[in-house]
Amino acid sequence: MASKSPLILLACGSFNPITHMHLRLFENARDAMNATGYYNVKAGIVSPVHDSYKKEGLISSKHRLEMCNIALQTSDWIRCNDWECRRSEWSRTVEVLRYIKSISHQLVGHGEDDKEASIFIFSIYIATERCQDVGVKLLCGADLLESFATPNLWSTDDLQEIVEKFGLVCITRHGSDPRKFIYLSDLLWKYENNIHIVTEWIPNEISSTCIRRALRRQQSIKYLVPDSVADYIYKHSLYSTVH
């Protein structure tokens, strides 16, 4: 059997705040991709969106990044990428994918001690397979996949590059039918072999929106987010009012 292809999973989003659901997406995706026998997931990357992204209730990236870093302290393979937040403006998802791909090539192809790259990706893992190309796939939920059909939200060129050159790992949620959605889209159907659907057998309906609502109503969020993240939220009085 051919050697397994090293793979990086990238999740883009608000992470406002990061929850246990986000962390479980990565674990489920890694299990599923490794189980195919074709991939060896080496790293997971969380990439919070830039502050200029127009979304109600989005708090400063300073806090969102810190909560992600705190939440990921217990993971030995997932890390937070602050490249989006450090840029001068909002970045398209395909731009983030290109960036992570460029870092993986630097690490794998040249073995350089790239300080910036080593912050984002576990070079100690990737560097052991310098002779192989490292793939990067976008990790998402079914809601993001379905958003591809929203008029004027995604450019056709971006979508084609994402599904053709990178690929998706989509975690299903209750009530969604991603395979039907793929069937109904000519573009997604064309590249269906590069879209991996992962069934979530243990439903997790936690969302950042629900967390923010609970906090505004002074309700407990214990066991919904990591304790360290909850402590940070309370310490800085985040989400206690509508932003």
d(CA 96, CA 99): 5
3-class secondary-structure state, position 217? coil
Residue 177: per-residue pLDDT: 87
Q: Does 223 reside within a domain? A: no
Higher pLDDT, 218 or 242: 218
Q: Give the model confidence (pLDDT) of 103-151 as tens digits.
A: 886 654 444 444 454 454 544 344 445 546 899 999 999 989 989 988 8
Pull the structure tokens for residue 93: 């998802």
pTM, rounded to two decimals: 0.89
State how many domains the chain has.
Answer: 1
Whether 83 shows a pLDDT value over 90: the answer reads: yes
Q: Give the model confidence (pLDDT) of 171-181 as tens digits.
A: 997 778 899 99
Q: Does 222 reside within a domain? A: no
Above pLDDT 70, what percent of the chain? 86
d(CA 178, CA 157): 21
Q: Does 214 reside within a domain? A: no
d(CA 62, CA 200): 31
Q: Does 217 reside within a domain? A: no
Its domain, for residue 179, covers 5-203
Query: Which of 45, 174, 172 lies closest to 182, judged by CA?
Result: 172
Decide: 29 and 139 in contact? Cβ < 8 Å: yes
| 219: phi then psi, degrees, rounded to nearest 5 | -100, 155
d(CA 3, CA 60): 43
Decide: 117 and 107 in contact? Cβ < 8 Å: yes
d(CA 10, CA 79): 10
d(CA 105, CA 17): 31
Domain of residue 98, CATH code: 3.40.50.620
